[in-house]
Amino acid sequence: MPEDLQEFARQAREFLGAHAARVAAERAGFRWGEGDDRVAYFGADPPEVEERKLRAARDWQRTRYENGFGWVSGPPEYGGRGLTPVHDLVYDSIESEYDVPDTGTLSVIGLGMIGPTILAHGQQPVKDRYLPAMYRGDVIACQLFSEPEAGSDLASLQTRAVASEAGWILDGQKVWTSVAQHSQIGMALCRTDPDAPKHKGITAFLVDMSAPGVDVRPLRQMSGGCDFNEVFLSGVRVPDDHRLGEVNGGWRVALTTLMNERAAVGSEGSGPVAEALSPERLSALMRATWTWDDRALRRDLSELLADMMATGHLNARAFRRMQAGVAPGPEMSVAKLMYAQNLTRSAHFVSRVLGPRIIADTGEWGTYAWAELLLATPALRILGGTEEIMKNILAERVLGLPKEPGIDTVSPFRALPRSGAGGAP
């Protein structure tokens, strides 16, 4: 590690040492039947707990910010530290050794994706007003991208933005919006020229989520909780200085955001779910259920652990490359695909081990609790880019395979066939 990084790491440890306790080096010795047996991928906390966690997250982000660790790679004029993305990685890896509040609600989308987008494409007043406030933990941002008719084909979005004398007027519906209920601002992609081909008639805006006409409704997902929202926009006014990038140049802006998304999603290798799926815990589960010597299950377990450890190795190597300043290859996209598959296979493996104990709750510790993970796993192969889209990207960008020929990138958006409109025009 170069000298300046070492000095930076020392400062980070000093800061964390003063504000947080270290995580015990060994996981507090796991014992079957003791402690919390929840294996939750999604939050699903009761409202008062969620509220408390959010407050802790904001407080911790403010503490980071006030001590120079709130936005390590951000420019100083907006409250950043002016260091490199490698410093970010170093800080994150050091912080993971300490017991600090989870700031995911603020950081995954707002600080991780929207912040860099505002920095790259925002106008001066918006950068001044929101960037320091976001990284100080005061402003939470959400991403108003997906629509009921624009999932994998995001560029076919239909929410309209029309220019008026008082700025822009937005009308439409967004869906699968995480953290919208906590957000002060949202980044919305809108159709501004339906006569242009679909990628060339989109404009990006920053929307005040408390503006009249913004309606956030919780969306209940198949696992039972409400971790996403629908956001209805009806005649919402947005000043022109809240436009990100050029008029009809929104696709470029969206790509900035999405690039940061893929980097964020692939890196999940820790936390309670990963812990529950450790070799130690899975073998404890097999002992507790007397399936210990079942040959078929043992083989399944080995196949699963081999792939999980391989994914871990891939992540570790990508991380070391980035720390050494080498641009990451396809590892992150591969890791994202594998993470979804590994978790899905894990949940089904565990359900084979548990048998009927996962279809009805016997009250036994650590059994029916797995239902929560099982019901969350279908989301993993969809969110952040479906498996199918991820494979297209890998094949086209890494292997150089040609795109599927089609009319959708050259025809005017208005002329494209839509779902439910009877197919071809």
Partner 1 sequence: MNDGKEELDELREAVREFLTAKSPESAVRAAMESGPRHDPAVWDQMARQLRLPGLALPSDYGGDGFGLTELEVVLEEMGAALLCSPFFATVVLAAQALLASADEAACARYLPGIAAGQTIATLAAAEGNASWDPAMVAARAERVKGDGEVGGGWVLSGKKSFVIDGTIADLVLVAARSIAGPSLFAVDRGAPGLHAEPMTTLDPTRAMAVLTFDQVPAVLIGAEGQGGRLMSRVLDLASVALAAEQAGGARRCLEMSAGYARTRFQFGRPIGSFQAVKHKCADMLVRVELAEATAREAARLADEAAAEFPVAAATAHICCSQAYMFAAAENIQVHGGIGFTWEHPAHLYFRRAKSSELLFGGPAVYHERLLDRLGI
By C-beta, is 239 or 384 nearer to partner 1?
A: 384
410 is an interface residue for partner 1 by CB under 8 A: no
Is 255 among the residues that bind partner 1 (CB under 8 A)?
no
Residues within window 283-302 making contact with partner 1, judged by CB under 8 A: 283, 298-299, 301-302
Dihedral of the alpha carbons of 117, 120, 123, 124, in degrees to the nearest 10: 110
Strand pairing category for 214-219 and 167-177: unpaired
Task: Work out how close the CB of 236 gets to partner 1 at its nearest, in angstroms, rounded to a whole number.
Answer: 37
Question: Minimum Å distance from CB 6 to partner 1?
Answer: 14
Is 268 near partner 1 (CB under 8 A)? Answer: no
Contact 381, 340 (CB under 8 A): yes
- The residue from 24, 26, 290, 403 that contacts partner 1 (CB under 8 A) is 403
Q: How many residues bind partner 1 (CB under 8 A)?
A: 41
Rounded to a whole number of angstroms, the minimum distance from the CB of residue 374 to partner 1 is 22
Query: Locate tokens 């979804």: which residue?
Result: 340
- Which residues are registered as beta bridge partners of 218? 229
CB closer to partner 1, 65 vs 339 = 339
407 binds partner 1, rule: CB under 8 A: no
Task: For residues 242 and 204, give the distance between their C-alpha atoms in angstroms, rounded to a whole number.
Answer: 9
| φ and ψ of 238, to 5 deg | -130, 120
Min dist. Cβ of residue 302 to partner 1 (A): 4
Q: Which of 376, 300, 382 is closest to 337 using CA atoms?
A: 382
Question: Which residues inside 310-349 make contact with partner 1, applying CB under 8 A?
Answer: 310-311, 313-314, 316-317, 320, 324, 326, 329-331, 334, 337-338
Residue 280: how many CB atoms within 10 A of its CB? Answer: 11
d(CA 5, CA 82): 13
- Map the footprint of partner 1 across residues 12-71, applying CB under 8 A: none
Cβ proximity of 12 and 94 under 8 Å: yes
Alpha-carbon gap, residue 203 to 247, rounded angstroms:
5
> Does residue 72 bind partner 1 (CB under 8 A)?
no
The token pair at 18 is 């003063």
Binding site for partner 1 (CB under 8 A): 279, 283, 298-299, 301-303, 305-307, 309-311, 313-314, 316-317, 320, 324, 326, 329-331, 334, 337-338, 388, 390-392, 394-396, 398-405
